[in-house]
Amino acid sequence: MRHHENVHASAHYCMAAAIREIGQALGLKDGFVDDARRAATPYVVDAVGLNGEDLPYHEYLTQLREREYWCVQHCPRDHEIEPLRERGRLVGRRYRFAREYDATLFKLFFG
């Protein structure tokens, strides 16, 4: 590998590491929601119909972002968001919370 290729690869690595650090500071988590993360967030609110097929795409994105923002503001490290699928088709989102209080508030707010 030539010197400029090493420098280029190193710059990409540093940028990826910086992005990961920023994401962690914002409360974002890496990877898929596994059984341990599900066990830590047992209170579930399903948002069936929150997808780009059942809603106009702009409305879908707006609602999705509103819910994500609410979660980050109210319980930044104590929630998970999973796709909700039926026979492989995305039908909505599953919001998981560590505290029943947060799940109840979320459900009341977005009912």
What is the distance between the alpha carbons of residues 60 and 42, in angstroms, rounded to a whole number? 25
Q: pLDDT tens digits for 24-41?
A: 665 566 678 889 999 999
- If DSSP codes are grouped into helix, strand and coil, which group holds residue 90? strand
The separation between the first and the last C-alpha atoms of the chain, rounded to the nearest angstrom, is: 57
Q: Where are the domains of the chain?
A: 1-30, 31-110
Whether 6 shows a pLDDT value over 60: the answer reads no
- If DSSP codes are grouped into helix, strand and coil, which group holds residue 79? strand
The half-sphere exposure of 19 on its side-chain side, counting CA atoms within 13 A, is: 7
What is the distance between the alpha carbons of residues 27 and 56, in angstroms, rounded to a whole number? 29
What single-letter DSSP state applies at residue 52?
T
Q: pLDDT tens digits for 79-106?
A: 999 999 999 999 999 999 999 999 999 9
pTM of the predicted model, to two decimals?
A: 0.75
